[in-house]
């Protein structure tokens, strides 16, 4: 199902499957790291539990990201877990 998202050629998905802190600016920190990599975001999906201030995020990218960018994402205090999934 992930590979057939809108019939596009998405090569990488970033997943934060464990719950992360739902705080203002958390998404912009993630997008700033991706922007520095000049990687296009194909799709971004969020879900949250307002009662616990926890969120889940799945980001589908057109290109892969470097190990350094992945480390930078993992270093963000608002993210509890980040996983890279290569689809191609």
Task: Give the model confidence (pLDDT) of 3-18 as tens digits.
Answer: 334 444 444 555 554 5
pLDDT score for 33: 92
DSSP-assigned beta bridge partners for residue 46: 57
Greater pLDDT, 20 or 68 = 68
pLDDT score for 88: 62
CB contact set of 35 (below 8 Å; sequence gap of 6+)? none
Which residue segments constitute the domains of the chain, with CATH numbers given? 9-86 (3.30.70.260)
The whole-number average pLDDT for the span 61-77 is: 88
pLDDT score for 71: 92
Q: To the nearest whole number, what is the mean pLDDT of the chain? A: 76
Confidence tier at 21 by pLDDT (50, 70, 90): low
């Amino acid at each position: 199902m992930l590979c057939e998202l809108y019939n596009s050629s998405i090569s990488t998905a970033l997943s934060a499957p464990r719950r992360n802190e739902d705080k203002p600016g958390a998404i912009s920190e993630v997008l700033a790291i991706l922007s520095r990599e000049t990687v296009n975001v194909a799709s971004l999906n969020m879900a949250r539990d307002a009662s616990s201030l926890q969120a889940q995020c799945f980001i589908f990218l057109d290109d892969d990201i470097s190990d350094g960018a992945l480390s930078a994402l993992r270093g963000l205090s608002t993210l509890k877990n980040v996983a890279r999934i290569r689809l191609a």
